[in-house]
């Protein structure tokens, strides 16, 4: 499997994601947002950070960068697209995932380990987790308050597209949503940072099964 980690100007979790993927043996590379071709990659990761300074609105400028047409094309071809934090915000801005990330209910940046439940254990992102498992993954954001209108929410819920939920909602997200996927299940976004929770020395390994889930799915499909 070959993975691309997209580096937008202002991305700051690109190398964290790269190291996490390499730690699981993935052939991963940083790809600049100035590029416009992703055909050689099987999976594409949009990392956290403050793309283009997040001026105007989070992810609002990044969606117009050259790489995003290639990301859209890859999504349409059924490739795996994973957006973490700012990456999730960019995917909603680009229309590849429904809804929007708003300012936290209590405004201000929060950095904390938060408890998540596995809302759908049968996805490419969660199959290695236990059905009833509660995991702890760090969040670090000021705009993580997921919002979608009632109709969209009903669609997401009815298709089991909510992947992770907050146990104690830190930001006001509707239905405690922490991560969702698209209808085909190949485009996924979440606000928490699993790439920060893969190493015993940092005191948290709950993100490991996220990567194991992705790998097992890709390997089975390959």
Partner 1 sequence: MTTNELSPEEVRDTKIYLEWGLTDQEYDLIVKELKRLPNFTETGIFSGMWSEHVSYKKSKPILRKFWSTNERVLQGPGEGAGILDIGDNQAVVFKAESHNHPSFVEPYEGAATGVGGILRDIFSMGAQPVAVLDSLRFGELDNAHTKHIVDGVIAGIAGYGNAIGIPTVGGEISFDSVYAGNPLVNVMAVGLMDQNAMQVGQAKGIGNSIIYVGAKTGRDGINGASFASAEFSSSEASDRSAVQVGDPFLEKLVMDATLQAIREHSDIIVGIQDMGAAGLLSSSSEMAAKAGMGINLNLDMVPQRETGMTPYELMLSESQERMVLVVKKGEEQAIIDLFQSADLDAVIIGQVTDDGRYRLNFKNEVVADVPVDFLTHAPKQDLPMIEPARLANFTDEQFEPDMGNVKETILTLLAQPTIASKSALFRHFDSQVRADTAIKPGGDAALIRIRDTQKALAMTTDVNARYLYLNPRLGAKMAVAEAARNIVSTGAKPIGITDGLNFGSPDNPEVYYELDQAVSGINDVAKKLNTPIISGNVSLYNETDGQAIYPTPMIGMVGLLEDITKATRTAFQKAGDNIYLVGRTKDSFNGSEIQKMQTGRIDGQLFDFNDEDELAAQQFILDATDRRLLNSAHDLSEGGLVVGLLESAFAGNLSFDITVDLADKYLFSETPSRFVVSVSPENRTTFELIAGDRATKLGTVTTDDAINITTTTSDIQLSLGETKNIYQESIAWKLNAE
Catalytically active residues are 85, 193, 195
CA distances from 36 to 62, 70, 71, 120, 159 (A): 13, 5, 8, 33, 32
Q: Please identify, among the stretches 8-16, 143-151, 161-169, 171-179, the one whose residues bind partner 1 according to the rule CB under 8 A.
A: 8-16
Which one of 79, 161, 193, 208 is in contact with partner 1 (CB under 8 A)? 193
Which part of the chain contacts partner 1 (CB under 8 A), choosing from 16-24, 92-100, 127-135, 150-158?
A: 16-24
CA-to-CA distance for 53 and 57, rounded, in angstroms? 9
Least distance in angstroms from the C-beta of 9 to partner 1: 6
Q: Cβ 147 to partner 1, closest distance in Å?
A: 22
Binding mask 21-60 for partner 1 (x = CB under 8 A): ---------------------------xxx-xxxx-----
Given 195, 208, 215, 217, the residue binding partner 1 (CB under 8 A) = 195
Pick the closer one to partner 1 by CB: 95 or 108.
108
Spatial neighbors of 136 by CB under 8 A, at least 6 apart, are 113, 114, 115, 116, 197, 204, 206
Contact 94, 46 (CB under 8 A): no
Question: Which string of x and - marks every residue 138-177 that binds partner 1 (by CB under 8 A)?
Answer: x-x-------------------------------------
Residue in 160, 37, 44, 56 with CA at minimum distance from that of residue 96: 44
C-alpha–C-alpha distance, residues 127 and 147, integer Å: 26
Nearer to partner 1, 21 or 162 (CB): 21
Size of the site for partner 1 (CB under 8 A): 30
Q: What are phi and psi of 52, to 5 degrees?
A: 50, 35
The answer for residues whose C-beta is within 8 angstroms of residue 12's C-beta and 6 or more apart is: 47, 48, 49, 50
Contact call for residue 15 and partner 1 (CB under 8 A): yes
Nearer to partner 1, 54 or 93 (CB): 54
For 15, residues 6+ apart whose C-beta sits below 8 A from its C-beta are 30
Binding site for partner 1 (CB under 8 A): 9-10, 12-13, 15-16, 19-20, 48-50, 52-55, 108-112, 138, 140, 193, 195-196, 198-199, 201-203
């Amino acid at each position: 499997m070959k993975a691309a980690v997209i580096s937008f100007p202002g991305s700051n979790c690109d190398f964290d994601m790269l190291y996490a993927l390499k730690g699981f043996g993935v052939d991963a590379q940083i790809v600049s947002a100035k590029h416009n071709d992703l055909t050689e990659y099987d999976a594409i990761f949009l990392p956290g950070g403050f793309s283009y300074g997040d001026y105007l609105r989070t992810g609002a400028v990044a969606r117009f960068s050259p790489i995003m047409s290639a990301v859209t094309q890859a999504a349409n071809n059924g490739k795996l697209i994973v957006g973490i934090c700012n990456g999730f915000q960019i995917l909603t801005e680009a229309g590849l995932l429904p809804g929007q990330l708003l300012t936290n209910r209590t405004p201000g940046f929060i950095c904390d380990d938060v408890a998540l439940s596995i809302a759908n254990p049968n996805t490419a992102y969660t199959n290695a987790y236990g059905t009833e498992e509660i995991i702890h993954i760090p969040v670090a954001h000021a705009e993580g308050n997921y919002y979608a209108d009632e109709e969209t929410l009903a669609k997401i819920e009815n298709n089991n597209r909510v992947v992770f939920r907050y146990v104690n909602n830190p930001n006001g997200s509707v239905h405690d949503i922490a991560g969702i996927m698209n209808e085909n299940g190949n485009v996924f976004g979440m606000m928490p940072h699993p790439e920060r929770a893969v190493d015993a020395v940092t005191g948290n390994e709950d993100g490991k099964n996220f990567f194991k889930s992705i790998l097992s799915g890709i390997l089975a499909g390959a």
